[in-house]
Structure 1
């Protein structure tokens, strides 16, 4: 019983670590640049993953999983990190994080479309609620307004596009890799590939040289620990933890992430912003509830095994 609780606690710690990523990535990219900062983050995270998770032999994975799953993973991570790093300000960076958390609902939607199984018709209003929540957040204090929403998006269309694209990419990744991975996890190699692609992009970018300090080094180490340590603890959690509880907790990540990001970045979020976050969270929980399989491992338990 004690061992079971230890595994579950490890999974909860992973959720909390991942909830700090939005704020920590933004913190580093402000100092080292959107591309250079992201490259350093994934480089250090890769080293930590090699140490704590390991790097299984590539031959142990199917080529289809490595190529297709790896491409989706790398594309998603680049979209997310650049969306955060290229945001106009810290509040907009947190908005990118909220958009990113459309992926649980999108994952459920894609799973339903692929399976062709009958689903509760309430699923579709729940999916719509997630998008309304994001729109509510991005619209600002003026409330839900298409004109205001478009005006805000036009201030930084690249970041908004990257964040939304990333959410769709991760939803596809979760559905595809579940079939191709055969229970194996190439996360270390995917992180290494992400770092390599970002370094290539950095070499061809016009970003100025990175300026280092002790503070920058500490911030970089913190985000690397949050990313690498989160995956390491999650792997421990899914071995023997209460996956139903962990899956449920994972759907509160938008709230945890927004709260911790506001603390890390020292910003104050409006009531309307929090309302949008709550809508996204409630929508994710509803999608989980409406599609769960009670007697067996639910799709969301499998979903949670991918990433919070």
Structure 2
């Protein structure tokens, strides 16, 4: 596949993933948090079975199957339920933004675990990303601790799940890269996530469905965004320009907020957009700090 075409497909994946926050919240409003998430992952798993196929588990390292499955399922549960249990569209967008701390966390964890070379730029990058979340949660008050505390305590479950998800996904990205040996168990992981959600649905009382035509449309779109998003990303990473895709992925918080605001008909203030920009810029600076360090290392070896 030509590199330009593969890169374009990878960029489409970024656009699809950016719509997930608004779509998950929209589906949960009609089917409920648990059932909505279960339906999304079930449909996505079916799409992945046809587009990616079911992996040959005999070729997979056992450690990757076990650890990868647990981390992936835990993350997807945190992501979907954190959004599903929110009280409003605006809160869902804020919770989604907390989850987008994972790029910065991934880079920091990779530096610690892999002893990856990094420039001092990583410190202001992390500070900027965290400050951006504080700006988002502070509302119109800016960096107000009391306002942030009030927002979080209004729904500690959703914000807690989103933050936990960011940590889990950072661990998943770093750990699975070391133990996967190039294998991709995404179809298996989606099936396990769907099964886990259905078990939760059937063993606990759930609200009745209140699904309308728009909810079914959101379900179809969410399933395609999830399933085709991962499939498209794999193609992009394998055959496209990885540098372009990596840089573009750090703008997901901004694109996601725009799409979620449209899907959920939510009005977002200037302070929110300022915080969102800070999160994206902070993550981009963290990523650039690793590239800068690698470039300097290569340059010094050449000069020797």
Give TM-score, length-normalised by structure 2: 0.94
Match of 1:224 in 2: 223
Match of 1:63 in 2: 62
Contact 2:27/2:216 (8 A) holds in 1:
no
Instruction: Report the CA distance between 1:280 and its aligned residue.
Output: 0.3
1:179 aligns with 2:202: no
Match of 1:260 in 2: 259
Matches within 5 A, 1:94-109: 94-109=93-108
Contact 2:20/2:222 (8 A) holds in 1:
yes
Counterpart CA distance in 2 for 1:167 and 1:129 is 16
1:93 aligns with 2:92: yes
Counterpart CA distance in 2 for 1:70 and 1:183 is 15
Matches within 5 A, 1:117-136: 117=116, 119-136=118-135
Which string of whole-angstrom CA distances, capped at 9 and with x for unpartnered residues, describes residues 76-113 of structure 1?
Answer: 00001000000111000001111111000000111111
Contact 2:30/2:212 (8 A) holds in 1:
no
Q: Which of 147-156 and 108-117 deviates more?
A: 108-117
Contact 2:82/2:158 (8 A) holds in 1:
yes
Matches within 5 A, 1:108-257: 108-117=107-116, 119-257=118-256
SS of residue matched to 1:82:
helix
Match of 1:289 in 2: 288
Instruction: Report the CA distance between 1:289 and its aligned residue.
Output: 0.5
Match of 1:52 in 2: 51
Counterpart CA distance in 2 for 1:118 and 1:199 is 43
Q: Which of 213-222 and 126-135 deviates more?
A: 213-222
Give TM-score, length-normalised by structure 1: 0.92
Which string of whole-angstrom CA distances, capped at 9 and with x for unpartnered residues, describes residues 202-237 of structure 1?
Answer: 112221233444433222111000110111111221
Match of 2:3 in 1: 4
Counterpart CA distance in 2 for 1:192 and 1:294 is 40
Stretches of structure 2 lacking an aligned partner (at least 5 in a row): 298-304
Counterpart CA distance in 1 for 2:18 and 2:160 is 22
Q: Which of 23-32 and 123-132 deviates more?
A: 123-132
SS of residue matched to 1:127:
helix
Counterpart CA distance in 2 for 1:115 and 1:50 is 33
Counterpart CA distance in 2 for 1:101 and 1:127 is 12
1:25 aligns with 2:14: no
Q: How many residues align?
A: 295
Instruction: Report the CA distance between 1:123 and its aligned residue.
Output: 1.1
Counterpart CA distance in 2 for 1:189 and 1:88 is 32
Match of 1:37 in 2: 36
Q: Which of 185-194 and 138-147 deviates more?
A: 138-147
Match of 1:84 in 2: 83
Counterpart CA distance in 1 for 2:296 and 2:203 is 52
Q: Which runs of 4+ in 1 moved over 4 A?
A: none
Instruction: Report the CA distance between 1:265 and its aligned residue.
Output: 1.0
SS of residue matched to 1:169:
helix
The CA RMSD measured in Å over matched residues stands at 1.5
Counterpart CA distance in 1 for 2:62 and 2:72 is 15
Instruction: Report the CA distance between 1:148 and its aligned residue.
Output: 1.2
